[in-house]
Structure 1
Amino acid sequence: MNNNLNRIPELESLRGIAALSVMLYHYTSFFRASLHYNFSSIFDFQFGHHGVELFFMISGFVIFMSLDRINSVRQFVYKRFLRLYPTYWICLLITLIVMLFDNTAQFDFSLKDKVFNILMFQGFFHVKNIDGSYWSLLPELCFYAMMIFFWRLKIIKDIFLVVLVWLVLMYVVLLRPSLIDVLLNLKFGVFFIIGIMFNLLYKNKKQLYPHIFILLALVSVLFVRDSVEVFCFTSLFVLVFYLLIYQKLSFLNNRIFIFFGEISYPLYLLHQTIGYILIYNLIRYGMPHFASIVLIAIFCIGLSFLVYKYLEQPIINKLR
């Protein structure tokens, strides 16, 4: 989810907003459910988890755009590796260190769990994620693999046919789930498809087919995700993307929003398990829940900035 969006700062800002939304959701309603806490729901951010769907749409937009700028499969794979793995390993190590001080009894992982998490393949083998937020990395990896596969076969130019077949497969697998569901991203592919279509519109607003496929994908959300709530939020995100391509989101092009976009990947990877452990202990020692949320949110934002500024960027620049 950590892609170079410097040419479209509004997308960078949307990514930051998505990360903040997920963090606030985890620190409020999801925290209470996970650790069985009985505190007021007045500050709950119960719909924040839909930020992940926004992440997927942004990835669809950006990864499809990146295919225009590569010369080989090796180049694509190396660039994706640089964007995902160094920061992931840094954040995983920090999380494991903080877990040494865990007293919530919620984070008990075997050596096997930790090894598979290092590879980022845990989702393929139903191994527990060290941090719950890691679950979304598997759909991202599968999407990357699909796109470079289509690019290598030179059928990416027939993207409308590819997407049509993809949508049909989503409905077929609803009748008989299988491993192909994971490999072909049949649960979350609708969000990546919407992002791809908006990238096409961004390049050429006069096209008709992207509008049709956005509508098809949006309707498919109701069936593939089987959730009116997800459909409603996806519709909202579609509206946001239309505003983006018609240049109506210029207010997002400011330093504050872009800052959160820049740190969004380490923030997404660091906030959940570390946040739970720290918030739990602050509440345990008498700090009000809301105050503990604010304090730990600030802490995780600061930690994410340090990772981004002094580890992620220098490492990526050196390896590039």
Structure 2
Amino acid sequence: MSKPIPSPRTPGAEPQRPPASASRRPRLRALDGLRLVAALMVVAFHWTGVNRYPTVWLGTPEKLMPGLQQVSAYGFLGVQLFFLISGFVICMSCWGRTPRQYFTSRVVRLFPAYWVAILLTGLVVNYAATARPTRAHLNMTDFLSNMTMLQQPLGVAEVDPVYWTLWVELRFYLLFAFVVVFGLTYRRVLGFCGIWMILSVVGRGSDNKLLELFVMPEYAPYFIAGVVMYLIYRFGANWLLLGSVGFSFLVAQHQLLGTGASFKYGVMHPLDWGVMTVFCLFAFGVVLAAAMGALDRIQWKWLTTAGALTYPVYLLHQEIGFALIRWIRLQGAGVWPTLAAALGAVLLLSWLVHRYAERPLSALMRRMLDAPGLALPKSDPPVRSRAATTEPSAVPAEGAATR
């Protein structure tokens, strides 16, 4: 690994990337594995950690599987792990790209699987035997509004409640776009992280709702730490970067107080801050280890496929999973066979969506978005000849007869 720490004689100098032969690193398959872990944690939380929907299991998980429920009650922390990885991966995938390439990469990554998931989940919610009697059916305007992925700011009911995290991701992409516009460099990215951290801390205690909306105080430390960890991966570790990661963790552990209070509603029992903080420390540590090369030996090829399935699994598992679990339980199956069958079905459905919908739709959308006609011209395009008929000289005089 390179030694990027600036020389004392050139304070503040930007670390130089080593030659390609010296900087080659294998694919970070460990991050694919961590994404799978995060997705399965969220699945476990909704399926076996939440006690608020006894109609799903025909009883509460706390009574049917008490040992598992006590652990999976903390599965919501998989979202925090997702955000850490997202900060790392977005910075990595967008380095050296133009704003247009950045926009295209985010659109083709997010929307194809999301649109298919909305269609499938909407059909289940509206036409299948719902596992939650209080779940309202979707009308057409709500369904169409969800297609934008902006249902939260529009004040529209979500097709699936898990989609709330997509609005968080979209705001991160919007913030990061400001750096992409100017070009990603060590200094700019690090400066962006510092400014964002300051605004997120200040924003939480202010009365400025707009500021708080965009700087996302509860989740900013995870995205920021992920971005800084990519700088460590690209340029090597130094005390400034490691200190930034540590500072992000210190802010994150405090924000967990509010996060735990939010998820207590679903699990219906107290959540221990110490347990949450230990997992948060583990999440920071394992992603940092990947950034510093400690997990480069993990090169199992199946992890790439598993990583590709995490997004469809996340999108499809809750409402569809609830309906599956209830249906299987009504057939008289036990708790553990039901859990295994539902997980297998959701994994199979996720693979089908990825293989036969997400991949071809992503390729099609990429070709469309890369079309020359979609590029913004540097100046106004030439006026079409038909527009000449609107020139004052070509307009009939007032009152002139028309044929």
Aligned to 2:290, which of 227, 244, 247? Answer: 244
Alignment of 1:67-86 (within 5 A): 67-71=94-98, 73-86=99-112
Following superposition, the deviation at residue 141 of structure 1 comes to: 0.5
- Give 3-state SS (helix, strand or coil) of 1:176's partner: coil
Partners of 1:173 and 1:131 in 2: CA distance = 29
Aligned with residue 303 of structure 1, among 349, 369, 372: 349
Contact in 2 for aligned 1:174/1:224 (Cα 8 Å): no
> What letter corresponds to residue 31 of structure 2 in structure 1?
L
User: Would you say the 8 A contact 1:13–1:253 is kept in 2?
Assistant: no
What amino acid maps onto 2:97 in structure 1?
A: I
- Cα displacement string for residues 260-294 of structure 1 (whole angstroms, at most 9, x for unaligned residues): 21111111100111001111122233222222111
Q: Using the alignment, how far apart are the partners of 2:237 and 2:332 within structure 1?
A: 59
Secondary structure of 1:69's counterpart equals coil
Check the 8 A contact 2:42/2:76 in 1, yes or no. yes
In the alignment, which of 132, 146, 152 is matched to residue 123 of structure 1?
152
In structure 1, list runs of 5 or more residues that go unmatched. Answer: 1-5
- Is the partner of 1:295 in helix, strand or coil? helix
- How big is the shift at 1:245? 2.4
TM-fit CA distance, 1:51: 1.0
Deviations for 1:13-48, whole angstroms, at most 9, x for unmatched residues? 211121112112211022x32336332323322222
- Larger helix percent: 1
After superposing the two structures, state which structure 1 stretch, 173-182 or 134-143, moved more: 173-182
Aligned to 1:214: 245
In the other structure, the counterpart of 1:288 is: 334
The equivalent position to 2:65 in structure 1, one of 28, 31, 40, is: 40
User: Which is worse superposed, 242-251 or 184-193?
Assistant: 242-251
TM-score normalised by the chain length of structure 1: 0.90
Tell me, in whole angstroms, the C-alpha distance in 2 between the residues paired with 1:139 and 1:64: 16
Residues in 2 aligned to 1:103 and 1:110: alpha-carbon distance in whole angstroms: 13
Q: Find the counterpart in structure 2 of residue 233 from structure 1.
A: 279
Partner of 1:317: 363
CA gap 1:258/1:14 in 2 versus in 1, 3 angstroms: same
Kept after mapping to 2: 8 A contact 1:17/1:261: no
CA gap of 1:52–1:313, structure 2 versus 1, over 3 A, is: same
Does the 8 Å CA contact 1:181/1:187 hold for their aligned counterparts? no
TM superposition score normalised by structure 2: 0.72
**AA paired with 2:49?**
S
User: Distance in 2 between the 1:258 and 1:140 partners?
Assistant: 22
Structure-2 change in CA distance of 1:101 and 1:251 (3 Å)? farther
The Cα shift of 1:122 comes to 1.4
2:32 corresponds, among 7, 12, 26, to 12
CA distance in 1, matches of 2:323, 2:111: 24
Provide the residue aligned with 2:84 in structure 1: 57
Tell me which residue corresponds to 1:193. Answer: 224
The farther-off stretch of 42-51 and 17-26 is 42-51
1:110 and 1:315 map into 2 onto residues whose CA distance is 25
The structural deviation recorded for 1:126 is 4.0
**How many equivalent pairs are there?**
313
CA distance in 2, matches of 1:224, 1:195: 17
Q: What is the alpha-carbon root mean square deviation over aligned residues?
A: 2.1
What one-letter code is carried by the residue in structure 2 that aligns with 1:66? S
2:122 to 96, 112, 116: 96
Q: Deviations over 1:195-244 (max 9, x none)?
A: 01110000122432110110111101133342634432221111102321
Residue 124 and residue 230 in structure 1: after superposition, are their counterparts in 2 closer, same or farther (change >3 A)? farther
Structure 1 251/292 Cα, relative in aligned 2: closer, same or farther at 3 Å?
farther
Q: In 2 relative to 1, CA 276–236 (structure 1 residues): closer, same or farther, beyond 3 Å? A: same
Matched, 1:27 2:47: yes
8 Å CA contact retained: 1:16, 1:258: no
> Matches of 2:201 and 2:213 in 1, distance apart?
14
Mapped contact 2:74–2:276 kept (Cα < 8 A): no
Structure 1: how far apart are the matches of 2:154 and 2:129?
25
How far the C-alpha of 1:166 sits from its partner, in A, is 1.6
1:252 and 1:286, CA in 2 relative to 1: closer, same or farther beyond 3 A?
farther
Residues 252 and 292 from structure 1, CA distance in 2 versus in 1: closer, same or farther, beyond 3 angstroms? farther
Which of 112, 132, 136 does residue 108 from structure 1 map onto? 136
Q: C-alpha separation between the residues in 2 aligned to 1:84 and 1:25?
A: 23
Gaps of 5+ in 2: 1-25, 261-272, 367-403
